[in-house]
Amino acid sequence: MKNNGKFEIVGGNKLYGEIINQTSKNATLPIMSASLLACDIVKIIDYPNISDVHNMAKILKCLNVNMTFEDKVMVLNTKNAIYNDINCDLMKTMRSSIFLLGAMLARFKHATMSLPGGCDIGARPIDIHIDAFKKLGVKVKENNGLIDFDAKVSRAKKIKLRLPSVGATENIIQFACLLKGKTTIINAAKEPEIVDLCNFLSLIGAKIFGAGTDKITIYGVDRLHGGIYRPSGDRIVAGTIMGAVAVAGGDVTIRNAVPYQNLNFIKKLTLMGCQIDYKNDIIHISRENPLTSIKEISTGYYPDFPTDLQSIMLAVSCYASSDTQIVENVFERRFLTVKELIKMGAKIDCISDKEIVVKPSKLRGNKVKALDLRGGAGLVVAGLGAKGKTIVNNARFVDRGYDHLEEMLSNLGANIKRT
């Protein structure tokens, strides 16, 4: 992985060419954790070479999982995995470490974890996870910032989630795979990454029905086996590249893009004047004329507009012909990027913590800093259309989810480099 640094972007270049989209970060991480259930060898094809994946690998190695990385294939041998308390500093490197909870409880019947870290985009409490495990008979105790889970006595049950939490849904699914009886999740998350996880688990012997709907049923089995799996394309990275073309102009083909996962985003960009065609796993996007605007963008749970692409659309909206209202309904600190865009000349009115109005702006290059993963990518996208040089510091945030974003964009003709 690259060390922390900064991106230098000189705006004005249009983007042309073809790119192969990386596999999904948000699918790969829970699949890595679910490999613990196999007690066997699991191979993940074309894993994304990002810091979150490597941090998850470090955590799994703490559990005595043998791992190798070669020719874009990750090999996880979980036969000799043993229980260990996970280093708190490792847990705090990323939010996705919470995915290990369900797998550890299924495999070891016990887990002690600190609260997971990640980007500072607002409260992401794990109370939904804890409540669900308690309903399944798991005993939970909190002690000095650590949470202890004991699953020696647990039972399958119907559970209704207060919110369609992706993490809680994935945790329950993993735990229930080896839990005797029938577990049903009501108000389950429907994100494509849930489907990916369930497809992987089904491949290695799990019995799961309803993935991609708000009702998922899991029938526990005695054991799971190994397997080979390739996660689907990363819908957020594909959306970021589309946003880059919307800002910079040009003509780009994105392969391994899974268009149906991004229909809401595609619709918004089309309304703004981008020409977008898609077929199978290919998206073709071009933009010649100036961007028009859409009145409102409101984020929500899948299939609504994804919160992970809100920062990208925020950057795009700065180049639109009239005002755009953006409402954030998932995370209350998703607008951290606003003050950085204002340094570049963006005209943005903050109505509340959840609502802003973006006015037509003429952005100019400046020194800004990434404050979270998607916000950092949004600043890079904004810099592609700005006059002069934009320097985006804290590249490490972007590296959590993008496999060398600067190389992707440079290969399409952007004037961008990492320093």
The answer to whether the peptide bond before residue 303 is cis (omega within 30 degrees of 0) is yes
Q: Are 377 and 402 in contact (CB under 8 A)?
A: yes
Is the alpha carbon torsion for 118, 34, 113, 73 positive or negative? Answer: negative
Is the alpha carbon torsion for 206, 401, 237, 119 positive or negative? Answer: positive
Is the alpha carbon torsion for 384, 354, 295, 271 positive or negative? Answer: positive
Out of 39, 62, 88, 119, the active site residue is 119
Active site residue 198: no
Q: Apex CA 116: angle with CA 111 and CA 118, to 5°?
A: 155
**Whose structure tokens read 């989630």?**
161
Which residues are catalytic, by number?
A: 119
